[in-house]
Structure 1
Amino acid sequence: MSGFGIIAWILIGIVAGWLAEQIMGRNHGLLTNLIVGVVGALIGGFLYNTLLGGDAGGNWIIGIIVATVGAIILLFLLGLVKRRA
């Protein structure tokens, strides 16, 4: 997702974090949604590039979908770790 600037990353991160929070039934604040969304974008972007050979490259909808999927994966993994601790 190299076609996005820092402001776009922040906006996509907030939206993706919020969507992942809603899908996973969690309750976080705006800052946590941003962090989860941006880290999710990195995870989702890596998987999207590796598995599908694609690049969101400036497409907002694909960027939000990829970041949301990554954020869902992140929340799922964090839930597994938290449950074991």
Structure 2
Amino acid sequence: MGLGLLLSIIIGGLAGWIASMIMKADTGLITNIVLGIVGALVLNVLLQLIGIYAAERIVPQLVVGILGACLLIFGFRAIARRS
């Protein structure tokens, strides 16, 4: 089933905003939404590879989105430092 498009955008924005606060990243609204949604997608795929499935509910997906967005911010910073 899933969360739906509108709820995914809202959860993604919230997850990206929280991750930007945790990682002390200066990002805007659109970037927060993208970070949260892409972070959740990436981390869900990684978790599924090791046999862990996050429930398709708001709180588990928010946690996965926050962790995934933090992972993306960390990765971007690591790549930017090399350049």
Q: Do Structure 1 and Structure 2 share a fold, with TM-score over 0.5?
A: yes
Across the two proteins, how many residue pairs are aligned to each other?
A: 83
Alignment of 1:21-32 (within 5 A): 21-32=20-31
Match of 1:65 among 48, 63, 67: 63
CA distance, structure 1, for counterparts of residue 3 and residue 9 of structure 2: 10
Whole-Å Cα distance in 2 between the matches of residues 51 and 20 of structure 1?
23
1:44 to partner: Cα distance: 1.6
Tell me if structure 2 keeps the 8 A contact 1:41–1:66. Answer: yes
Q: Distance in 1 between matches of 2:43 and 2:79?
A: 19
Gaps of 5+ in 2: none
- Give the match's secondary structure for 1:70: helix
**Distance in 2 of aligned mates of 1:77 and 1:71:** 10
Could you tell me how far apart the structure 1 residues matched to 2:25 and 2:53 are?
30
1:30-84 deviations in whole A, cap 9, x for unaligned? 0110111111011121123223421322x11000000111111000000001111
**1:4: how far off?**
1.0
Pairwise CA RMSD: 1.2
Percent identical residues:
35
* 1:3 to partner: Cα distance: 1.3
> If the length of structure 1 is used for normalisation, what is the TM-score?
0.89
Aligned counterpart, 1:20: 19
